[in-house]
Amino acid sequence: MKIWLVGTYGAVATTTMVGAKALENGVIDPTGIVSEMPEFEEIHERIPLEFQFGGHEVRWIDSNAYRAALNHWKLNRHFDYGILESVKNDLEEIRAEKGTAINCGPGVESLGELSTLEKEGYTLREIVDILREDMSSFGKRDCVVINVASTEPVVEFREEYHGSLEGFESMIDENRKRYVSASMLYAYSALKEGIPYGNFTPSTGSNIPALKELAIKNRVPHAGNDGKTGETLIKTTLAPLFLYRNLSIDGWMSYNILGDDDGKVLSHAENKESKVISKDSVLEKTLGYSPYSICEINMFPSLIDNKIAFDFIHFKGFMGTKMKFYFIWDGIDAILAAPLVIDIARFLLYARDRGEYGVIEELGFFFKSPMDTEIVNTHQQFEMLKTWFTQKPITRGISTAGVFIPKV
């Protein structure tokens, strides 16, 4: 598997690379990797756990994956140091290429001095050409791009630029920067090169009609958005319990605190908006109604990569009697995310192997805001994933600009 990580030197990316290489070298076991379960046996030989990594970054551009991983490790100590040392040689060889941070907002700017292609004066078309060249020279066959870069602010949807591939490409050719974001440019570059694309972040990525059209046209699978690793995973697993027992939820409060660079970026209101939208919509989708809901995310520096969620659920039972349920989820973000990144990459390669393209909705199991499906109930999602895996490749199509493009 050749995995191109956008945001190569971040906590999730470096933890993914350390874990993947340690798995490949037999240093750790596959606990946490869904695709290693017996249900998915066919993938084990077809797409073995052997890895090459590359990616794009906008800071520490002269560094390498080992130095970046060590930086995160010193802050978090989120796994055994011996594991990191065992993959030192592998990671020292991984160096990121310079990327773009167009419209990534104040959160990303606050990370420090950024090295970007736009700072070198390139136009949108030139930036895209460079991104495409970087990705395709890494490898088209067995290659997949996964976005694990910092969360961008929400981009206002504009039909003329995002509604069709033609509009999107004219926006690029005319160098109109206002309605484009870095994640769209990475997604466009991957899909244009025929490389599957997975979006682990709440940023827009390939989630606009223009890029869905491109994926169908170029016959490339893609999936997103926003890895479901913590509080939302628990929420979408627990909420069905109330549904199945016909208990009515009056209110659900979720309060999340986290440190680290992800927390720093999300402490900026514009960058946070994408995340809150992504987390907050799941209750209505699971329950079919919207209980009163508070969903907060705040920076708590000393926690570093520890993310804690405090949840309070007020619900009503027989004869209108009110009851309460509280939980605290205390997770290590990158440790929960890294195996999912590997799974998403592996299942996307599997989809491509089977000749499937377009949005692979069944990978919604891995995401908080799964594209093109309203199903967020974890139990249902897992069944969908298993069914998809064992059945024949699915015919998909999209409706774009009034034209339905079927799979032939």
Ligand X SMILES: NC(=O)c1ccc[n+]([C@@H]2O[C@H](COP(=O)([O-])OP(=O)(O)OC[C@H]3O[C@@H](n4cnc5c(N)ncnc54)[C@H](O)[C@@H]3O)[C@@H](O)[C@H]2O)c1
Residues in contact with ligand X by CB under 6 A are 6-7, 9-12, 56-59, 99-101, 104, 108, 111, 148-151, 182, 200-201, 226-227, 229-230, 260-262, 265, 333-334, 336-337
**321: helix, coil or strand?**
coil
Supply the minimum distance, in Å, between the C-beta of residue 351 and ligand X: 21
CA-atom Rg of the chain in angstroms: 21
Q: Which is closer to ligand X, CB of 226 or CB of 361?
A: 226
Nearer to ligand X, 338 or 359 (CB): 338
Nearer to ligand X, 76 or 377 (CB): 76
Which of helix, strand or coil describes residue 149? coil
Cβ proximity to ligand X, 164 vs 201, nearer residue: 201
What's the min distance (Å) between Cβ of 283 and ligand X? 18
Phi, psi of 249 (to 5 degrees): -90, 120
Which CB, 259 or 357, lies closer to ligand X? 259
Element (H, E) at 63: none
Instruction: Name the residue nearer to ligand X (CB basis): 118 or 356.
Output: 118
Q: Which residue in the shown chain puts its C-beta closest to ligand X?
A: 10
Alpha helices in 207-360 (DSSP H): 209-217, 231-244, 260-266, 269-280, 282-287, 333-353
Write down the least CB distance from residue 257 to ligand X, Å. 14
Shortest CB 343 distance to ligand X, Å: 13
User: Minimum Å distance from CB 98 to ligand X?
Assistant: 9
Distance of alpha carbon 301 from alpha carbon 261, whole angstroms: 9
Q: Judging by beta carbons within 10 Å of its beta carbon (0-12, 13-18, 19+), is residue 197 exposed, middle or buried?
A: buried
CB burial readout 311-347, b (16+ within 10 A) else e: bebbbeeeeeeeeeeeeebebbbbbbbbbbbbbbbbb
Q: Which is nearer to ligand X, 134 or 226 (CB)?
A: 226
Q: In terms of Cα–Cα distance, which of 132, 119, 207, 125 is closest to 163?
A: 207
CA dist., res. 333 & res. 320, Å (int):
38
Q: Minimum Å distance from CB 195 to ligand X?
A: 16
Size of the chain, expressed as the number of residues it contains: 408
Contact 316, 322 (CB under 8 A): yes
Residue 393 CB, shortest distance to ligand X, in Å, is 28
- Please identify, using beta-carbon distances, which residue of 371 and 398 lies nearer to ligand X: 371
CB of residue 166 to ligand X, shortest distance in Å: 25
- DSSP class of residue 251 equals E
Nearest to 180 by CA among 199, 167, 161: 161
| For ligand X, the closer CB: 90 or 261 | 261
Q: Report which DSSP code applies to 53.
A: E
Q: Smallest distance from the beta carbon of 211 to ligand X, in angstroms?
A: 16
Tokens of 208: 């606009």
Q: How far is the CB of 15 from ligand X (least distance, A)?
A: 8
| Greatest CA separation for the chain | 67
In this complex, which beta carbon is closest to ligand X, that of residue 12 or of residue 276? 12
Taking alpha carbons only, the member of 114, 148, 205 closest to residue 14 is: 148
